[in-house]
A and B are shown apart, each in its own frame.
Chain A
């Protein structure tokens, strides 16, 4: 599959514009829900850039992991911590923004100077094209086997750690009756702990069907 070079360049321009404007929107928009959806658009445009670079497997991985998992996770976090609060003003916030903007612009200038003045060793070897997925598989199971297995251990640790960090703390035993309540809060319809200490629990249990 090869599309004409000029079409490829136009696609690059459009995707770059989408990435950069979307990133600015993510950082600058006041409503964070719009920011989260724009972040999904940025991820999609980056996947398009990967397709322009002959990397269909990484583009698919970007779609599934970033758009499908990370962005949805961020949206869930926004829903869970959705609280309208007015941030109190901080003295010197404008000065701080301008200073950090200057630092970031300096970093950008440095990176662009390196980009446009370094004599890159172009043209490199011929791109592998459609065989990229096979080559990635060979890499993952030969010379990158140890990082691959470490990545699986890292994902397992991150999953368990996220569950432990985000679960709600419940008391291991009821303060009033002394019985274990870990599963009882979920399975039985009973009043939550420590809400009304004087309420009799037994009639509540009998009333539930």
Chain B
């Protein structure tokens, strides 16, 4: 039995929509956990980027599988990427400003607004 026919027997014929959604869900939850538990502020920003990528995979999967002609999900993904770039720039500028004022990147010591 050749290798390709073996693949055709054992694997599903196409990639299901649920597979993409499952990957996006795991990526999003990983980002949430990192967002809560990171103590380095740069890692918090990286976790936010992971969450945004999970959302983007969701939008792209729905756009490809359920909205194949009017691909509105892809347009939304482009807007999300734009907002993510702006968020990264402003977030890192705020982080630099905080680092100059507090001389640390530890999230537990950024308690300026605690009453």
Chain B residues touching A, range:
35 or more
Q: How far is the CA of A32 from the CA of B63 in the complex (A)?
A: 34
For chain A, what secondary structure do more than half of its interface residues adopt (helix, strand, loop), or is it mixed? helix
For chain B, what secondary structure do more than half of its interface residues adopt (helix, strand, loop), or is it mixed? helix
Q: Is the CB–CB distance between A162 and B50 below 8 Å?
A: no
Kindly identify which residue among A9, A49, A154, A162 contacts B11, using a CB–CB cutoff of 8 Å.
Answer: A9
In the assembled complex, which residues on chain A have CB atoms less than 8 Å from the CB atom of B4? 4, 6
Q: Is the CB–CB distance between A9 and B49 below 8 Å?
A: no
The segment from A50-58, A184-192, A198-206 found at the interface with B is A50-58
In the assembled complex, which residues on chain B have CB atoms less than 8 Å from the CB atom of A177? none
Interface residues of chain A, those whose CB is within 8 Å of chain B, are: 4-10, 12, 16, 19-20, 23-24, 26-27, 32, 35-36, 39, 42-43, 46, 49-50, 52-55, 57-58, 61-62, 65-66, 69-70, 73-74, 76-78, 80-81, 83, 85, 87, 90, 96-97, 100-101, 104-105, 107-108, 111-112, 115-116, 120-128, 132, 135-136, 139-140, 144, 147, 151, 154-155, 157-159, 161-163, 165-166, 168
Q: Is the CB–CB distance between A20 and B11 below 8 Å?
A: no
Q: Is the CB–CB distance between B94 and A111 below 8 Å?
A: no
A58 to chain B, nearest CB (A): 5
A124 to chain B, nearest CB (A): 4
Q: Is the CB–CB distance between B86 and A165 below 8 Å?
A: no
Kindly identify which residue among B7, B20, B27, B37 contacts A6, using a CB–CB cutoff of 8 Å.
Answer: B7
Contact with A along B3-31 (1 / 0, CB 8 A): 01001100111110111111101111111
Q: Is the CB–CB distance between A9 and B15 below 8 Å?
A: yes
Kindly identify which residue among A58, A76, A100, A126 contacts B74, using a CB–CB cutoff of 8 Å.
Answer: A58
